[in-house]
Protein backbone atom coordinates (compact mmCIF):
# COMPACT_ATOMS: atom_id res chain seq x y z
CA UNK A 1 0.00 0.00 0.00
CA UNK A 2 1.52 3.30 -0.94
CA UNK A 3 1.49 6.18 1.50
CA UNK A 4 -0.95 9.04 1.27
CA UNK A 5 0.60 12.37 2.18
CA UNK A 6 -1.30 15.63 2.51
CA UNK A 7 0.57 18.84 1.76
CA UNK A 8 -0.68 22.40 2.28
CA UNK A 9 0.48 25.61 0.63
CA UNK A 10 -0.85 25.06 -2.89
CA UNK A 11 -0.66 28.79 -3.61
CA UNK A 12 2.14 28.35 -6.13
CA UNK A 13 1.79 31.84 -7.55
CA UNK A 14 4.39 32.82 -10.09
CA UNK A 15 5.79 35.83 -8.23
CA UNK A 16 5.55 34.56 -4.66
CA UNK A 17 4.92 30.83 -4.49
CA UNK A 18 3.88 28.87 -1.43
CA UNK A 19 6.12 25.85 -0.80
CA UNK A 20 3.48 23.13 -1.21
CA UNK A 21 4.03 22.37 -4.88
CA UNK A 22 7.81 22.02 -4.41
CA UNK A 23 7.25 19.74 -1.40
CA UNK A 24 4.80 17.62 -3.44
CA UNK A 25 7.33 17.41 -6.25
CA UNK A 26 10.07 16.23 -3.87
CA UNK A 27 7.71 13.57 -2.50
CA UNK A 28 6.75 12.37 -5.96
CA UNK A 29 10.43 11.89 -6.77
CA UNK A 30 11.23 10.05 -3.55
CA UNK A 31 11.45 6.27 -3.26
CA UNK A 32 8.32 6.38 -1.10
CA UNK A 33 6.26 7.07 -4.25
CA UNK A 34 3.30 8.35 -2.25
CA UNK A 35 -0.12 9.60 -3.27
CA UNK A 36 -0.04 13.34 -2.68
CA UNK A 37 -3.11 15.27 -1.68
CA UNK A 38 -2.93 19.05 -1.91
CA UNK A 39 -4.70 21.28 0.61
CA UNK A 40 -5.42 24.79 -0.64
CA UNK A 41 -7.29 27.80 0.63
CA UNK A 42 -8.41 29.37 -2.64
CA UNK A 43 -10.11 27.91 -5.70
CA UNK A 44 -7.36 29.47 -7.82
CA UNK A 45 -4.44 27.99 -5.89
CA UNK A 46 -2.50 26.72 -8.90
CA UNK A 47 -0.93 23.60 -7.44
CA UNK A 48 -4.35 22.08 -6.73
CA UNK A 49 -4.56 21.46 -10.46
CA UNK A 50 -1.04 20.12 -11.05
CA UNK A 51 -1.90 16.49 -11.71
CA UNK A 52 1.76 15.46 -12.10
CA UNK A 53 2.61 16.21 -8.48
CA UNK A 54 -0.76 16.49 -6.77
CA UNK A 55 -3.20 13.61 -7.17
CA UNK A 56 -6.15 15.45 -5.75
CA UNK A 57 -6.78 18.90 -4.36
CA UNK A 58 -9.09 19.98 -1.52
CA UNK A 59 -9.88 23.30 0.10
CA UNK A 60 -9.50 23.88 3.83
CA UNK A 61 -11.16 26.63 5.88
CA UNK A 62 -8.88 29.63 6.39
CA UNK A 63 -6.63 29.50 9.47
CA UNK A 64 -8.31 32.66 10.75
CA UNK A 65 -11.57 30.73 11.03
CA UNK A 66 -10.30 28.65 13.88
CA UNK A 67 -9.34 25.12 14.72
CA UNK A 68 -12.81 23.64 15.12
CA UNK A 69 -13.62 24.28 11.49
CA UNK A 70 -10.20 23.01 10.39
CA UNK A 71 -10.48 19.82 12.41
CA UNK A 72 -13.99 19.14 11.14
CA UNK A 73 -12.80 19.45 7.55
CA UNK A 74 -9.68 17.31 8.13
CA UNK A 75 -11.77 14.62 9.81
CA UNK A 76 -14.16 14.51 6.88
CA UNK A 77 -11.32 14.29 4.35
CA UNK A 78 -9.40 11.72 6.38
CA UNK A 79 -12.37 9.37 6.24
CA UNK A 80 -12.17 9.51 2.46
CA UNK A 81 -8.43 9.65 1.87
CA UNK A 82 -6.78 8.04 4.92
CA UNK A 83 -3.79 10.31 5.27
CA UNK A 84 -0.63 8.79 6.66
CA UNK A 85 1.32 12.02 6.98
CA UNK A 86 0.39 15.69 6.84
CA UNK A 87 2.96 18.38 5.99
CA UNK A 88 1.82 21.96 6.70
CA UNK A 89 3.77 24.48 4.63
CA UNK A 90 2.42 27.93 5.56
CA UNK A 91 3.38 30.13 8.51
CA UNK A 92 -0.14 31.32 9.29
CA UNK A 93 -1.46 27.78 9.76
CA UNK A 94 1.39 26.36 11.85
CA UNK A 95 -0.14 27.28 15.23
CA UNK A 96 -3.39 25.55 14.31
CA UNK A 97 -1.65 22.38 13.20
CA UNK A 98 0.69 22.39 16.20
CA UNK A 99 -2.29 22.54 18.53
CA UNK A 100 -4.19 19.90 16.58
CA UNK A 101 -1.18 17.56 16.21
CA UNK A 102 -2.04 15.29 19.18
CA UNK A 103 -5.63 14.94 17.94
CA UNK A 104 -4.41 14.19 14.42
CA UNK A 105 -2.02 11.57 15.76
CA UNK A 106 -4.95 9.98 17.55
CA UNK A 107 -6.76 9.83 14.21
CA UNK A 108 -3.76 8.16 12.60
CA UNK A 109 -2.42 11.23 10.78
CA UNK A 110 1.24 11.71 11.56
CA UNK A 111 2.86 15.11 11.50
CA UNK A 112 6.43 16.12 12.09
CA UNK A 113 6.10 19.70 13.19
CA UNK A 114 7.22 21.87 16.11
CA UNK A 115 4.93 22.25 19.12
CA UNK A 116 3.31 25.54 20.12
CA UNK A 117 6.11 26.35 22.51
CA UNK A 118 8.80 25.85 19.89
CA UNK A 119 6.81 27.90 17.41
CA UNK A 120 6.59 30.75 19.88
CA UNK A 121 10.36 30.62 20.38
CA UNK A 122 11.02 31.37 16.73
CA UNK A 123 8.23 33.89 16.37
CA UNK A 124 9.60 36.91 14.56
CA UNK A 125 8.95 39.24 17.48
CA UNK A 126 11.09 37.06 19.74
CA UNK A 127 14.18 36.95 17.57
CA UNK A 128 16.44 38.82 20.02
CA UNK A 129 15.60 36.35 22.82
CA UNK A 130 16.28 33.42 20.56
CA UNK A 131 19.51 34.99 19.38
CA UNK A 132 20.61 35.42 22.99
CA UNK A 133 19.71 31.80 23.82
CA UNK A 134 21.63 30.41 20.85
CA UNK A 135 24.52 32.85 20.90
CA UNK A 136 23.76 33.88 17.32
CA UNK A 137 23.72 37.58 16.61
CA UNK A 138 20.51 39.16 15.31
CA UNK A 139 19.38 42.65 14.40
CA UNK A 140 17.34 44.66 16.90
CA UNK A 141 13.68 43.70 16.50
CA UNK A 142 10.56 45.07 18.14
CA UNK A 143 6.87 44.33 17.84
CA UNK A 144 4.97 47.48 16.88
CA UNK A 145 1.25 47.90 17.47
CA UNK A 146 0.85 51.53 16.50
CA UNK A 147 2.17 53.24 13.40
CA UNK A 148 3.18 56.26 15.43
CA UNK A 149 6.16 54.24 16.64
CA UNK A 150 7.91 55.05 13.38
CA UNK A 151 7.74 58.78 14.06
CA UNK A 152 9.16 58.51 17.57
CA UNK A 153 11.51 55.54 17.29
CA UNK A 154 14.60 57.58 16.49
CA UNK A 155 14.48 58.89 20.05
CA UNK A 156 14.88 55.25 21.17
CA UNK A 157 17.98 54.77 19.08
CA UNK A 158 16.45 53.41 15.88
CA UNK A 159 17.94 54.58 12.59
CA UNK A 160 16.48 54.66 9.11
CA UNK A 161 16.47 52.77 6.87
CA UNK A 162 14.83 49.95 8.84
CA UNK A 163 12.93 46.83 7.91
CA UNK A 164 9.17 46.71 8.43
CA UNK A 165 7.86 43.13 8.55
CA UNK A 166 4.60 41.27 8.95
CA UNK A 167 4.37 38.65 11.67
CA UNK A 168 3.80 35.96 9.06
CA UNK A 169 4.65 37.37 5.66
CA UNK A 170 5.95 40.40 3.87
CA UNK A 171 8.89 42.68 4.60
CA UNK A 172 10.02 45.97 3.15
CA UNK A 173 12.80 48.42 3.74
CA UNK A 174 11.63 51.88 4.83
CA UNK A 175 13.89 54.88 4.34
CA UNK A 176 11.90 57.26 6.52
CA UNK A 177 9.00 57.39 8.96
CA UNK A 178 6.38 58.16 6.32
CA UNK A 179 7.39 55.16 4.24
CA UNK A 180 7.43 52.97 7.34
CA UNK A 181 3.95 54.09 8.33
CA UNK A 182 2.64 53.34 4.83
CA UNK A 183 4.19 49.85 4.92
CA UNK A 184 2.83 49.35 8.44
CA UNK A 185 -0.72 50.02 7.28
CA UNK A 186 -0.39 47.93 4.15
CA UNK A 187 0.90 44.85 5.99
CA UNK A 188 -1.38 45.33 9.01
CA UNK A 189 -4.33 45.49 6.63
CA UNK A 190 -3.58 42.01 5.41
CA UNK A 191 -1.96 40.22 8.32
CA UNK A 192 -2.89 42.31 11.33
CA UNK A 193 -0.71 43.60 14.13
CA UNK A 194 1.87 43.39 15.53
CA UNK A 195 4.16 44.59 12.80
CA UNK A 196 7.88 44.21 13.38
CA UNK A 197 10.53 46.87 13.17
CA UNK A 198 13.97 45.45 12.52
CA UNK A 199 17.19 47.37 12.22
CA UNK A 200 18.72 47.05 8.82
CA UNK A 201 22.10 45.51 8.20
CA UNK A 202 23.95 45.85 4.91
CA UNK A 203 25.06 42.45 3.74
CA UNK A 204 24.45 39.32 1.69
CA UNK A 205 21.58 37.01 2.56
CA UNK A 206 22.18 33.27 2.68
CA UNK A 207 19.58 30.61 3.43
CA UNK A 208 19.41 27.14 4.85
CA UNK A 209 16.57 24.65 4.61
CA UNK A 210 16.65 21.77 7.04
CA UNK A 211 14.82 19.25 9.17
CA UNK A 212 15.15 19.18 12.95
CA UNK A 213 14.85 15.68 14.37
CA UNK A 214 12.99 16.79 17.50
CA UNK A 215 15.77 15.55 19.76
CA UNK A 216 18.14 18.46 19.30
CA UNK A 217 19.77 17.33 16.06
CA UNK A 218 19.66 18.66 12.52
CA UNK A 219 18.76 15.61 10.44
CA UNK A 220 19.57 17.18 7.08
CA UNK A 221 20.23 20.56 5.52
CA UNK A 222 20.71 22.30 2.20
CA UNK A 223 22.20 25.78 1.87
CA UNK A 224 21.57 28.29 -0.85
CA UNK A 225 22.47 31.77 -2.01
CA UNK A 226 19.84 33.61 -4.00
CA UNK A 227 21.18 34.81 -7.33
CA UNK A 228 18.17 36.69 -8.67
CA UNK A 229 15.14 38.19 -6.99
CA UNK A 230 11.60 38.96 -8.12
CA UNK A 231 10.36 42.46 -7.40
CA UNK A 232 8.81 41.03 -4.22
CA UNK A 233 12.27 40.03 -3.06
CA UNK A 234 11.67 36.33 -3.60
CA UNK A 235 14.46 34.27 -5.12
CA UNK A 236 13.79 32.99 -8.62
CA UNK A 237 17.27 31.70 -9.11
CA UNK A 238 19.72 30.42 -6.54
CA UNK A 239 22.77 28.24 -6.16
CA UNK A 240 23.65 25.64 -3.56
CA UNK A 241 26.51 26.59 -1.24
CA UNK A 242 28.29 25.18 1.77
CA UNK A 243 28.87 27.58 4.64
CA UNK A 244 30.07 26.03 7.90
CA UNK A 245 28.97 28.97 10.02
CA UNK A 246 25.47 28.88 8.59
CA UNK A 247 25.32 25.14 9.19
CA UNK A 248 26.57 25.62 12.74
CA UNK A 249 23.87 28.23 13.41
CA UNK A 250 21.18 25.80 12.23
CA UNK A 251 22.58 23.02 14.40
CA UNK A 252 22.71 25.37 17.36
CA UNK A 253 19.10 26.40 16.75
CA UNK A 254 17.96 22.76 16.67
CA UNK A 255 19.97 21.97 19.78
CA UNK A 256 18.49 24.85 21.80
CA UNK A 257 14.88 24.45 20.67
CA UNK A 258 14.82 20.66 20.03
CA UNK A 259 13.21 21.65 16.75
CA UNK A 260 10.95 19.08 15.17
CA UNK A 261 10.23 19.43 11.47
CA UNK A 262 11.11 21.56 8.50
CA UNK A 263 12.72 24.96 8.87
CA UNK A 264 14.33 27.74 6.93
CA UNK A 265 17.03 29.96 8.36
CA UNK A 266 17.53 33.33 6.75
CA UNK A 267 20.85 34.88 7.68
CA UNK A 268 22.85 37.86 6.58
CA UNK A 269 26.62 38.15 6.31
CA UNK A 270 27.59 41.76 6.94
CA UNK A 271 30.52 43.60 5.43
CA UNK A 272 32.76 42.55 8.32
CA UNK A 273 31.91 38.93 7.60
CA UNK A 274 29.71 38.40 10.67
CA UNK A 275 26.52 36.37 10.41
CA UNK A 276 23.19 37.75 11.65
CA UNK A 277 19.96 35.81 12.07
CA UNK A 278 17.19 37.61 10.19
CA UNK A 279 14.34 35.17 10.34
CA UNK A 280 13.45 31.55 10.99
CA UNK A 281 10.52 30.06 9.12
CA UNK A 282 8.87 27.05 10.76
CA UNK A 283 8.43 25.10 7.52
CA UNK A 284 10.16 24.32 4.23
CA UNK A 285 10.84 27.23 1.84
CA UNK A 286 9.45 27.44 -1.69
CA UNK A 287 12.91 26.57 -3.09
CA UNK A 288 12.91 23.19 -1.30
CA UNK A 289 13.05 21.30 -4.61
CA UNK A 290 16.73 22.26 -4.73
CA UNK A 291 17.17 19.74 -1.89
CA UNK A 292 16.09 16.94 -4.22
CA UNK A 293 18.27 18.52 -6.89
CA UNK A 294 21.41 18.18 -4.76
CA UNK A 295 20.53 14.67 -3.63
CA UNK A 296 19.23 15.41 -0.15
CA UNK A 297 15.47 15.24 -0.51
CA UNK A 298 14.36 16.95 2.71
CA UNK A 299 10.58 16.35 2.42
CA UNK A 300 11.36 12.65 1.92
CA UNK A 301 13.57 12.80 5.02
CA UNK A 302 10.81 14.50 7.01
CA UNK A 303 8.26 11.84 6.05
CA UNK A 304 10.64 9.08 7.12
CA UNK A 305 11.14 10.80 10.47
CA UNK A 306 7.39 11.14 10.84
CA UNK A 307 7.04 7.41 10.20
CA UNK A 308 9.60 6.72 12.93
CA UNK A 309 12.40 5.40 10.71
CA UNK A 310 15.93 5.39 12.05
CA UNK A 311 18.03 7.44 9.69
CA UNK A 312 21.71 7.65 8.92
CA UNK A 313 23.28 11.11 8.92
CA UNK A 314 22.91 12.74 5.51
CA UNK A 315 26.12 13.41 3.60
CA UNK A 316 27.14 17.00 2.81
CA UNK A 317 25.47 18.36 -0.31
CA UNK A 318 27.43 19.62 -3.30
CA UNK A 319 27.83 23.36 -3.81
CA UNK A 320 27.31 24.93 -7.20
CA UNK A 321 23.95 23.46 -8.25
CA UNK A 322 21.53 26.09 -9.48
CA UNK A 323 17.79 26.32 -9.49
CA UNK A 324 16.02 28.69 -11.84
CA UNK A 325 12.31 29.02 -11.37
CA UNK A 326 9.90 29.44 -14.28
CA UNK A 327 6.19 29.87 -14.54
CA UNK A 328 3.92 27.61 -16.56
CA UNK A 329 0.18 27.38 -16.89
CA UNK A 330 -2.05 24.50 -15.93
CA UNK A 331 -5.02 23.93 -18.23
CA UNK A 332 -8.13 23.49 -16.11
CA UNK A 333 -11.55 22.40 -17.34
CA UNK A 334 -14.62 24.32 -16.26
CA UNK A 335 -15.86 21.08 -14.67
CA UNK A 336 -12.78 20.83 -12.48
CA UNK A 337 -13.04 24.48 -11.49
CA UNK A 338 -16.75 24.06 -10.78
CA UNK A 339 -16.04 21.10 -8.58
CA UNK A 340 -13.56 22.94 -6.39
CA UNK A 341 -15.82 25.95 -6.22
CA UNK A 342 -18.93 24.05 -5.29
CA UNK A 343 -17.56 21.05 -3.40
CA UNK A 344 -14.11 22.26 -2.35
CA UNK A 345 -12.33 19.47 -4.20
CA UNK A 346 -10.82 18.84 -7.62
CA UNK A 347 -12.23 16.02 -9.72
CA UNK A 348 -10.79 12.57 -9.31
CA UNK A 349 -7.91 11.87 -11.65
CA UNK A 350 -9.38 10.28 -14.76
CA UNK A 351 -12.76 11.86 -14.18
CA UNK A 352 -11.47 14.95 -15.93
CA UNK A 353 -13.88 16.28 -18.50
Cα Rg for the chain, rounded, in angstroms? 20
Residue 64 DSSP class: G
Residue of 96, 134, 257, 297 that binds other proteins (CB under 8 A): 96
Residue 130 DSSP class: H
Q: Among residues 243, 170, 185, 218, which one has the least CA distance to residue 314?
A: 218
Residue of 6, 104, 131, 167 that binds other proteins (CB under 8 A): 167
Considering only residues 5 to 44 of the shown chain, the ones binding other proteins according to CB under 8 A are 41-44
Q: Per CB under 8 A, does 337 bind other proteins?
A: yes
DSSP structure string for 2-52: --EEEEE-----SSS--SHHHHHHHHHTSTT--EEEEEESSTT-GGGG-TT
Considering only residues 106 to 135 of the shown chain, the ones binding other proteins according to CB under 8 A are 125
Stretch that binds other proteins, among 19-27, 29-37, 191-199, 260-268 (CB under 8 A): 191-199
x-or-dash string of contact with other proteins, 137-156, rule CB under 8 A: -----xx-xx----------
Count of residues touching other proteins (by CB under 8 A): 41
Nearer to other proteins, 178 or 338 (CB): 338
Q: CA 282, 285, 288 angle in degrees (round to 5)? A: 130
Widest Cα–Cα separation across the chain: 64
Q: Per CB under 8 A, does 233 bind other proteins?
A: no
For residue 59, the minimal CB distance to other proteins (Å) is 5
Query: What residues have CB less than 8 Å from 49, skipping those under 6 apart?
Result: 57, 330, 332, 336, 346
Q: Which residues bind other proteins (CB under 8 A)?
A: 41-44, 59-69, 72-73, 92, 95-96, 99, 125, 142-143, 145-146, 167-168, 188, 190-193, 334, 337-339, 341-344
Amino acid sequence: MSLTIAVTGMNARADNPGPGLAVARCLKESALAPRVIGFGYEALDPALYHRGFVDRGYLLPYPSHGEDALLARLTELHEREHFDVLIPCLDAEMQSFARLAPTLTGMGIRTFIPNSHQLALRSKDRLPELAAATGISSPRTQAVYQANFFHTCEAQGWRYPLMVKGLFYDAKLAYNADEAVAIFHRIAGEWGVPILAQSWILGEEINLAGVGDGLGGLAGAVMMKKRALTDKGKGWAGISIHDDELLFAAKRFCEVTKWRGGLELEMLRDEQGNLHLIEINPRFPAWIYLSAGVGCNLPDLLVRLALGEQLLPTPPTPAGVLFIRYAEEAIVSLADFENITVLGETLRFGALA
